[in-house]
Amino acid sequence: MAVSESLNGGASTSPPPPTPEYGITKPISLSGPTAADFNRNLELEKLLVDSGLYESDEETATRQEVLHRLDQVVKSWVKQLTRMRGYTEQMVEDANAVIFTFGSYRLGVHGPGADIDTLCVGPSYVNREEDFFMILHNILAEMEDVTELHPVPDAHVPVMKFKFQGISIDLLYASISLLVVPEDLDISDGSVLHDVDEPTVRSLNGCRVADQILKLVPNVEHFRSALRCLKFWAKRRGVYSNVTGFLGGVNWALLVARVCQLYPNAIPSMLVSRFFRVYTQWRWPNPVMLCSIEENESGFPIWDPRRNPRDRFHIMPIITPAYPCMNSSYNVSASTLRVMMEQLHHGNRICDEIELNKAQWSTLFQPYIFFDAYKNYLQVDIIAIDAEDLLSWKGWIESRLRQLTLKIERDTNGILQCHPYPHEYVDTSKPCAHSAFFMGLQRKEGVRGQEGQQFDIRGTVDEFRQEINMYAYWKPGMEIYVSHVRRKQLPAFVFPEGYKRTRIPRHMRHSAEKADEDATRCYSGSTERCIKRKNDAEMMDVKPRKPEKRASISPQRLECFSPESCSSRSGGTSQMSIDCIEGVKLDGSTMKDSDSNCQIKSSDGLVRCRISAERLDMQITETGVVDSTICRLKSRSPEVRNESGVNGNKAQDLDLDCLEGVEIAFTKTFTNCKEGALDMDQPLDKAGSFATTADISDYVPSAST
């Protein structure tokens, strides 16, 4: 306590200085680290270093050199354009452009091989469409040190991607309302947004958001270490991908920054543990915000579910702190939120064990075994003639894969759930450029199946393919193949080191079973529909099995056809049919050579997509392993009609029939963890409920509150 001398020679006490507050609520705890926390922090830091998450001094120097050279290139480019536009020599001399960084590099959490997100800010007379994407593009294309140049002008945030001296660069452009851009431009000043369009605002806000995050956290170094750790965890667990519908770098940064605000004196090991503790119980869709939402006379739209109907449908809003404040996680769907919550609960259980000295940090970062998690998968194969065509074709399809997930759940009323996996796989045995993505399929827990219930996603897949085929830059040889495969049919190229059945350690199995027992409530509209999970050990598939190598036993459904056979595109609405050979009994016993080869044909007779959709005994549960839910994929013979002398096949796709259902409790719970209502520095209350979209419409702080 501070002590000062009084006028009469005595001593008087004065109140301590107020504790600085970060964020829109008071901290949950001001507690600092204990000796055990320091020890765990040293162990965590050592693991991050040993995992290769920090780049070498040599690579750091290379990055700085690349940024310096890129800055010189854009300065020369702007001077060249200024002279071409007929400006005076003095204007040519003063003409300038400035390179800013954002993303992981600006936040200081990039690792070896990471790309650098960059922004070029230029004067008002230099435009994006012609000057940036054409003239600067041509300048870069002629440079020997620039490779893999790929412009994406029609993206939500227009970007030019390339490698400069082997360093991946994402370059954005923003033209601000100044004739001369000062070298010391303050990009955080709101005046840079004056008289610019929305793509420019989105381009500028990458840098502005990164700067605000660093200003709003209590300890920048602790924030960086915790964020580096949690990004590593998210990638290992398959939930790091904004384009797929999970969370990207800025989303994870905002979530970690909020935990730093709630625990301002915590060190990184504490922040990681508190991160899982808070977000396993966050009451989505209540928003995560680092500061109040600012309104401005510029009039750009901000995230406000009270005024904007579209904002009411965001189920995991994470709000950016710089004006105009927006939801950075609008890509998240019910499917990806469910997957992320499962992984957060998994991480929370491990952190609890680490604090009890029952587990090591390495356990937290064990990779997620996606191909052991489900019985059934959708396989999306992307094919092009060469690597350059594949790069653009794959980018287009990958940006729309989450739409397939949304469409499937829409058309099955949410009963058939999808788990899109963000990792890309390549079959090097194909004679053409190839890439593949996978989705896990399962029945929603807690929903009783009905005899003969069908999940018909044939039209859904057809609709998705029609949208994909609208690609404006399509070339002959660009093809997409969608297949259903069972776990035992997964191709060998997803197991580059051979397939081995994972075995869950005894203590981990016991912890998981205990967690399931403690969390038997779910949100399914009514608690009466939630029942206890049966046969936990069986559903977790923990029965020890001998390691076995997996060979590819998938039928020949994904042959890489020659460009000549794939060059035509069906016009209008693609008409498809499935021709299937019956071969598998429904009682679980299989007939010899019973693989059903299901081939989708387009109306022009070309093979557009082959589906291995054999009639299966498919058992779909939360974990994708054996349970009493018995389903099958059934393909029915199409009706073939001759209309106006044209032989056309009736459009049909995948047809999923579930014969029998089972009620299973959803074991993951949420707590009523609304912003401003947090009051805990201990394991949070496990009982909770979902918020409705009406809840968030009542809670949008403004600058005046």
As annotated, the active-site residues are: 104, 115, 117, 170, 231, 240
The residue assigned the tokens 């990009």 is 187
pLDDT for 89-116, tens place per residue?
999 999 999 999 999 999 999 999 999 9
Contacts of residue 346, defined as CB under 8 A and 6 or more positions apart, other chains included, come to 237
Per-residue pLDDT, 14: 57
* Alpha-helical segments (H) within 324-451: 334-355, 361-364, 387-398, 401-411
Contacts of residue 187, defined as CB under 8 A and 6 or more positions apart, other chains included, come to 100, 121, 204, 207, 208, 211
Closest CA to 217 of 386, 27, 402: 27
Q: How confident is the model at residue 498 (pLDDT cuts 50, 70, 90)?
A: low
CB 33 within 8 A of CB 267: yes
Residue 310 CA to residue 318 CA, distance in Å, equals 15
Amino acid of residue 231:
K
Per-residue pLDDT, 295: 81
Q: Per DSSP, what are the bridge partners of residue 40?
A: none
Per-residue pLDDT, 240: 96
Residue 317 CA to residue 302 CA, distance in Å, equals 13
**Could you give the percent of the chain with pLDDT greater than 70?**
67
Residue 590 CA to residue 308 CA, distance in Å, equals 54
Q: How confident is the model at residue 453 (pLDDT cuts 50, 70, 90)?
A: low
Q: With a cut of 70, say whether residue 192 has pLDDT above it.
A: yes
CB 321 within 8 A of CB 293: no
Q: With a cut of 50, say whether residue 526 has pLDDT above it.
A: no
Tell me the mean pLDDT in the region 572-594: 29
Q: 3-class SS at 541? A: coil
Superfamily of domain 370-446+454-489: Poly(A) polymerase predicted RNA binding domain (3.30.70.590)
Per-residue pLDDT, 451: 55
Q: How confident is the model at residue 557 (pLDDT cuts 50, 70, 90)?
A: very low
Q: Please give the C-alpha separations between residue 457 and each of 176, 267, 461, 635, 654, in angstroms, as whole numbers.
A: 47, 49, 6, 11, 5
Average pLDDT, the chain: 74
Tell me the mean pLDDT in the region 27-46: 95
Largest CA distance in the chain: 112
Indicate where the chain has its CATH 3.30.70.590 domain(s): 370-446+454-489
CB 334 within 8 A of CB 407: no
Q: With a cut of 50, say whether residue 616 has pLDDT above it.
A: no
Per-residue pLDDT, 668: 30
Say if residue 324 is preceded by a cis peptide, omega within 30 of 0.
yes
Say if residue 285 is preceded by a cis peptide, omega within 30 of 0.
yes
Higher pLDDT, residue 37 or 515: 37
Q: How confident is the model at residue 424 (pLDDT cuts 50, 70, 90)?
A: very high
Q: With a cut of 60, say whether residue 398 has pLDDT above it.
A: yes
pLDDT for 619-648, tens place per residue?
333 333 323 222 333 333 333 333 333 333
* Strand residue runs (E) in 514-606: 577-579, 598-601
Of 19-23, 181-185, 490-494, 671-675, the poorest mean pLDDT is in 671-675
In this structure, how many other beta carbons lie within 10 angstroms of the beta carbon of residue 501?
Answer: 14
| Cα 482 from chain centre | 21
Tell me the mean pLDDT in the region 172-201: 91
DSSP state of 193: G
Q: With a cut of 60, say whether residue 575 has pLDDT above it.
A: no
Closest CA to 501 of 391, 403, 392, 371: 371
Instruction: Please report the DSSP string for 610-640 in residue order.
Output: EE------B---SSSS--S-EEEE---PPPE
Per-residue pLDDT, 190: 85
Per-residue pLDDT, 388: 86
Question: Which strands, in side-by-side order, build the sheet including 577-579?
Answer: 577-579, 598-601, 607-611
Q: 3-class SS at 400? A: coil
Per-residue pLDDT, 108: 94
CB 462 within 8 A of CB 574: yes
Q: What is the 3-state secondary structure (H, E, C) of 252-299?
A: HHHHHHHHHHHCCCCCHHHHHHHHHHHHCCCCCCCCECCCCECCCCCC
Q: 3-class SS at 168? A: strand
Strand-pair category, 116-122 with 167-175: parallel
Token pair of 586 as six digits: 């429904």
* Strand residue runs (E) in 20-110: 98-102
Q: With a cut of 50, say whether residue 558 has pLDDT above it.
A: no
Q: With a cut of 70, say whether residue 440 has pLDDT above it.
A: yes
Q: How confident is the model at residue 444 (pLDDT cuts 50, 70, 90)?
A: confident
Tell me the mean pLDDT in the region 583-605: 30
Most confident of 16-25, 150-159, 518-527: 150-159
Residue 616 CA to residue 587 CA, distance in Å, equals 10
Residue 619 CA to residue 54 CA, distance in Å, equals 43
Of 180-184, 413-417, 451-455, 469-473, the poorest mean pLDDT is in 451-455
Q: Please give the C-alpha separations between residue 89 and each of 1, 59, 80, 95, 210, in angstroms, as whole numbers.
A: 65, 39, 11, 10, 37
Token pair of 441 as six digits: 């399929």
| Right CATH for 35-54+217-365 from 1.10.3720.10, 3.30.450.20, 1.10.1410.10, 3.30.499.10 | 1.10.1410.10
Q: How confident is the model at residue 155 (pLDDT cuts 50, 70, 90)?
A: confident
Tell me the mean pLDDT in the region 338-351: 96
CB 95 within 8 A of CB 123: yes
Per-residue pLDDT, 16: 57
Class for the domain spanning 57-211: alpha beta
Q: How confident is the model at residue 163 (pLDDT cuts 50, 70, 90)?
A: very high
Per-residue pLDDT, 655: 34
